[in-house]
A and B are shown apart, each in its own frame.
Chain A
Amino acid sequence: MNGSEALNQPALAAASSFRQALTVFVWWGGRSLGPPPPERQTSSRTMIGYLRYLGQRFIILLVTIFISITVVFVVPRLVPGDPLGAIFLNMASVGGSMGATQLVEEYRQLFGLDQPLWQQYLNFLGQLVRGNLGYSIDSFPSHVTTLLWHALPWTIGLLTITTLISWVLGSIIGAVVGWRGRESRFFQGLVPVALLLYTTPYYILALILVFVFAFHWPIFPISGAYSAGLAPSFSQEFILDMLHHATLPALSIILVSLGWWFLSMRSLIKTLKGEDYIMNAEAMGLKEGRILWGYAFRNALLPQATGLAISMGHIVGGALITEVIFAYPGIGWLIFNAIKSLDFPVIQGSVLIIIVAVASANFLIDVAYPLIDPRIRHGAGGRA
């Protein structure tokens, strides 16, 4: 209430830098990039500190979105000649499609290419605000937004489920191995396996899985999200077919991220093992399982949960290349086909949507983190 929720400003900064470290890690397919920067001395501030922090994060969100919109606007105009040059070129190379001139006319109007550059930019912003990302060239007259709405559920569905599964599995196995790693050869052997898994790019693993389980032993389908003859519905047959198709793409993502969750949980538990309260619990004669799951694991869950939240933020960006390998109809497959047919509006729209989604998710995590982590609020009698 009245200033009783004291906030720890440097801890907030540390939280956001941790988030960024993981962001970089998640994006580059699971590589940690160096140790986190050292934490600085602590000092406490009041609620104002949190509000100022929120404001700062919100400005960063706005600037991020603004910069990405600008990049998406500017980059096509850096190419020598008309921004439609690439589109013309493409049409010539595919032998000129029906209504090409009409389409170019449409684009001239949409982008207002006869107007000065600043006017074009304002128009572009105006269209974006109305949710208009333009038309697809390859599947004209579909709107880019329509294509994105068809692709996004596949990507989000696949990535949400795989992220959750690998997080739960990795955390549990990591906790057990971190706790009793010294006692068993098998547990120790898991560490280099996890290391190998998480240094492997997820799409490389996907290739190997396709070969082994779709080609050599044809247990799972090679590509697609459902069998050609079926129409998407909520029937049992369709859902089973969908799961059958999703198994391999899911497995490739789960295995790679499992390595990371495993390693991070293991090292967390190993550090916690030396803590006073754990030794105290041991001295009190508590059962080992109770100490591990009731004391150590629960304390290690918080950083793990932050990591989970960050991966969730990246779900829309997803595993673009895995989708390409499995011809899985998500946003990665959409981008891949757009690249193939030089469908620039679709590439532009997808890139923009992903950036905005990732930036917004990051913002939400930054907002929620101080509320989740009790160590960041330390005021007498402070409430949530």
Chain B
Amino acid sequence: MAAISASEIVESEASAPQQPGFGGILLRNRKFVIGVAILLIFIILGAGGELFVGSGQRASGSFQPRLAPGPGGLLGTDSLGRSVAIQMSEAIPNSLQVGLIAATLGTTLGAIVGFVSGYFGRSVDSVLRVLIDIFLSVPSLLFLILIASLFKGVGVQAMALIIGIFAWAWPARQVRAQVLSLKERGFVQIARLSGMSGLEIIFRELMPHMLPWLGANFVNAFIAAVLAESGLSILGLGPQREMTLGMMIYWSLNYSAFLQNLWWWWLTPVLTLIALFLALYLIHIGFDEVTNPRLRTEG
């Protein structure tokens, strides 16, 4: 027995230099790389816009209204005389910010609930499991509608927080299932026998195994949050004084961009959203294929 395991160790050490680590496999995954590339382009465009646009150019009436896109006015202007390109430079970072804040909050809350529920078990677990079940079966968009309609005129960050608070149930479920299977493994038993405390085991033994899972969950939560933001905004519950991709669509619908034939006004955020979702989805698939090698077979 001992000899076999020792030789295994030697073997795995010998082959270590050729085997790429987790990041290496991730970077070799074509879907992941394409997704990240598209996302980076958006971030760069958004950040660049923030730097170069003066605040004077944001107000309505800064440009001639209803200009078609062209060499002069990049992406055209809306019926209030605002540049679509400048709106986008504000909307993209804001929408990504909603995704980032909400996904971080949701994944963190979910991980905490999942770890506690899975590791400590018993009565804590049964209460938390029912809670997870409930929040999974109730469409959270409805609670969001309820809350956002009361706090009308919330800012981008507040909206992200509201979305994030309702995004914990799915990661919690996933983390709980993982913890349940991990905690019976040998290395956790040994850690427990050698006197590690519950929190220590969670952070030093279980957490490293959970990080890829949490990563995939984070991307999911990000997608869901951007989706929720644009949905709420189109319903008229978005940040009224700030620009997000959803709010751009809301304003263009509100000022009937369709009837005025200002297609560039609504089509720009629409195409951006589609590209953004596709990028995030590719990142998600890439993550999934890396963490779950059985999925890798299909090109």
Contacts and interface: CB of A to CB of B under 8 A. Distances in A.
Interface of A: 17, 20, 23-24, 27-29, 31, 33-35, 37-38, 59-60, 63-64, 67-68, 71-72, 75-76, 78-79, 86, 195-196, 199-201, 203-204, 207-208, 210-211, 215, 222, 314, 317, 320-321, 324-325, 335-336, 338-340, 342, 344, 347-348, 351, 354-355, 358-359, 362
A358 B149 contact: no
Contacts of B230: 201
A335 B145 contact: yes
A348 B149 CA distance: 10
A374 B280 CA distance: 38
A37 B145 contact: no
Interface in B245-299: 249, 253, 258-259, 261, 263, 266-267, 270, 273-274, 277-278, 281, 288, 292, 295
Contacts of A320: 141, 231, 235
Contacts of B134: 60, 63-64, 67
Contact of A207 (B133, B147, B261, B266): B266
Contacts of B220: 31, 33-34
The list of the 9 closest CB pairs from A to B, nearest first, reads A37-B177, A20-B136, A27-B139, A351-B142, A199-B281, A64-B134, A33-B220, A199-B277, A362-B137
B25 interface: no
Contact of B146 (A200, A207, A347, A362): A347
A201 B275 CA distance: 11
A41 to B, nearest CB: 11
Nearest to B148: A339
A238 B151 CA distance: 41
Which bucket holds chain B's interface residue count? Answer: 35 or more
A165 B270 CA distance: 26
B145 A351 contact: yes
Interface of B: 130, 133-134, 136-143, 145-147, 149-152, 170, 173-174, 177, 181, 216-217, 220, 223-224, 227-228, 230-231, 234-237, 249, 253, 258-259, 261, 263, 266-267, 270, 273-274, 277-278, 281, 288, 292, 295
Most A C-beta atoms less than 10 A away, residue of B136, B137, B174, B288: B137
Given A64-B137, A211-B263, A76 B142 contact: no
Interface of A is mostly: helix
Interface of B is mostly: helix
A68 B143 CA distance: 9
A335 B139 contact: no
Nearest to A79: B150
Contacts of A325: 234, 253
B177 A344 contact: no
A71 B146 contact: yes
B139 A314 contact: yes
A203 B234 CA distance: 9
A320 B253 CA distance: 16
Most A C-beta atoms less than 10 A away, residue of B150, B152, B270, B278: B150
A68 B138 contact: yes
Contacts of B149: 338-339, 342, 344, 347
A314 B259 CA distance: 33
A339 B288 contact: no
B138 A358 contact: yes
Contacts of B259: 215
A52 to B, nearest CB: 14
